[in-house]
Amino acid sequence: MHPTHPVRLVLPAFTKVISNYRNLKEAHPA
């Protein structure tokens, strides 16, 4: 099987982690 473009798999997960991190910071401000 041919390798898929890594960005297609990494980018959605990365943006999801970033949004979760931002929500966590907003919920618990330092």
SS3 15: helix
Q: pLDDT value at position 22?
A: 94
Q: pLDDT value at position 16?
A: 96
Cα 24 to Cα 18: distance, rounded to the nearest angstrom: 10
Q: pLDDT value at position 6?
A: 77
Q: pLDDT value at position 8?
A: 82
Cα 8 to Cα 18: distance, rounded to the nearest angstrom: 16
Give the model confidence (pLDDT) of 1-30 as tens digits.
566 777 788 888 999 999 999 999 888 766
Q: How open is the CA angle 12-14-19, to the nearest 5 degrees? A: 95
Cα 30 to Cα 24: distance, rounded to the nearest angstrom: 11
DSSP state of 28: S
Cα 3 to Cα 17: distance, rounded to the nearest angstrom: 24
For the entire predicted model, the pTM comes to 0.53
